[in-house]
Amino acid sequence: MTLIIVQTVFQSITSTLHWLGFFSGIRALDGSKARKWVWTFGSAIFAFTMLLGILLLASDNFFRNDVAPPRVPLALGGTLLFGYLLLLSRDFRAIIASIPPHWLIAIQTSRVIGAVFLIRWWQGEIPGVFAIPAGVGDFLTGLFAPLVAYWWYTGKPYARTAAILWNLFGMADLVNAVTIGSSIQGAGIVFPVVMAPIYAVPRAFLIHSYSLIGLLRGTSKQPSSVGAVELAAKA
């Protein structure tokens, strides 16, 4: 019961933070107020409905792999496909481009929670072949997120390279964790742990993707070192 409460609270908080970042992009969207209101309420309702729906389905043991087709990969892949298809929308691309780049990085600080895998391995609850690479990878991604975000925000000359490498590392960690996890789970992961691959992983991967797209295409503008220092002094 404790794990269910922790997982539900954690996913609710991170989902809210993700939406707040998206809302900051909506505020910078060009156009009428009505257009912004549609995106604001539409995204909020969608985020809430998605979280609630997945929680209810997962708690009912819907996401099992002993059925055809396996449902965990379908849920994960479907979320990723939807997230990438949204990039076909000009408004959505503008919203993502308007989100502060350092926010897209810093929000992944929550990945430090992956250290729980290491604790559960130490307690003998999950195999080390999964827990060690997944736990260490998640923890390092979350640990370095605020540092890389700070480098970007303060205009460090090496920040873009560091952000690109950090994003690639974080994405590789997610792919590795899902690959190993799916190979050892058999019929599927039980609730609430299943919330990680079907909900948390695709969202984290999409945020990495959006951040990486902005960095590689040059749409993520880095503050100059002088400008960042002046801004911090004024604050």
**Cα–Cα nearest to 196, from 93, 102, 75:** 75
Q: Which whole-number Å values give the CA distances from 223 to 130, 152, 153, 159, 215, in the listed order?
A: 39, 7, 6, 10, 13
User: Average pLDDT, stretch 122-127?
Assistant: 86
Tell me if 166 sits within 8 A of 211, measured CB to CB. no
| Residue 116 clears pLDDT 50, i.e. is over it | yes
User: Average pLDDT, stretch 114-142?
Assistant: 91
Q: What is the pLDDT of residue 113?
A: 92
User: Average pLDDT, stretch 129-134?
Assistant: 91
Tell me if 100 sits within 8 A of 24, measured CB to CB. yes
For the chain, how many structural domains are there in total? 1
Give the least confident one: 22-26, 57-61, 88-92, 146-150.
57-61
| Residue 225 clears pLDDT 70, i.e. is over it | no
Tell me if 139 sits within 8 A of 118, measured CB to CB. yes
User: Average pLDDT, stretch 177-183?
Assistant: 85
For 225, what's the count of Cα atoms within 13 Å in the CB-facing half-sphere? 5
| Residue 5 clears pLDDT 90, i.e. is over it | no
User: Average pLDDT, stretch 111-128?
Assistant: 89
Task: Give me the chain's average pLDDT, please.
Answer: 88
Structural domain range at position 177: 2-234
Tell me if 181 sits within 8 A of 175, measured CB to CB. no
Is the pTM higher than 0.85? The answer reads yes
What are 52-97's pLDDT values in tens digits?
Answer: 999 999 888 888 767 777 888 889 999 999 999 999 999 999 999 9
User: Average pLDDT, stretch 176-191?
Assistant: 75
CA torsion angle 37 39 45 49 (round to 10)? 180
